[in-house]
């Protein structure tokens, strides 16, 4: 969809969405940390995939994401989330 296809109101909505994307990702990541503490099995594997995707969108290095995911440790993820929250 080209920019001229959107009204000014729609353009402002899109602009605000991307301006606040980091905040939304951090909030969602916090919810996913809680879910990881409580989940097991296949659900936990699916959560790690979405967590990895969120972390990459937030600019966390791939090696760090993989290290946390390989350890399957929600505490390390919570510490990383805390670090990201302090930066923002």
Does the residue 13 lie in any domain? yes
Nearest one of 27, 82, 71 to 48, comparing CA atoms: 71
In tens, the pLDDT along 21-78 reads 889 999 999 999 999 989 999 999 999 999 999 999 999 999 999 999 999 988 999 9
Nearest one of 43, 47, 42 to 74, comparing CA atoms: 47
Does the residue 1 lie in any domain? no
Question: What pTM was estimated for this model as a whole?
Answer: 0.77
Domains: count for the chain: 1
For 41-70, b/e burial (b = at least 16 CB within 10 A) is eeeeeebbeebbebbeebebeeeebeebbe
In this prediction, residue 2 carries a pLDDT of 58
* pLDDT of 1 strictly over 60: no
- The boundaries of the domain holding residue 56 are 7-87
Whether 74 and 9 have beta carbons less than 8 Å apart is answered as no
In tens, the pLDDT along 72-83 reads 988 999 999 999
Q: How far is CA 34 from the centre of its chain?
A: 13
In this prediction, residue 3 carries a pLDDT of 59
Does the residue 72 lie in any domain? yes
């Amino acid at each position: 969809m080209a920019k001229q296809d959107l009204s000014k109101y729609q353009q402002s909505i899109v602009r605000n969405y991307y301006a606040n994307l980091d905040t939304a990702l951090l909030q969602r990541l916090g919810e996913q940390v809680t879910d990881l503490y409580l989940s097991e099995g296949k659900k936990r594997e699916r959560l790690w995939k979405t967590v990895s995707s969120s972390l990459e969108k937030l600019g966390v290095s791939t090696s760090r994401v993989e290290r946390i995911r390989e350890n399957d440790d929600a505490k390390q993820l919570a510490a990383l989330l805390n670090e990201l929250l302090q930066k923002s």
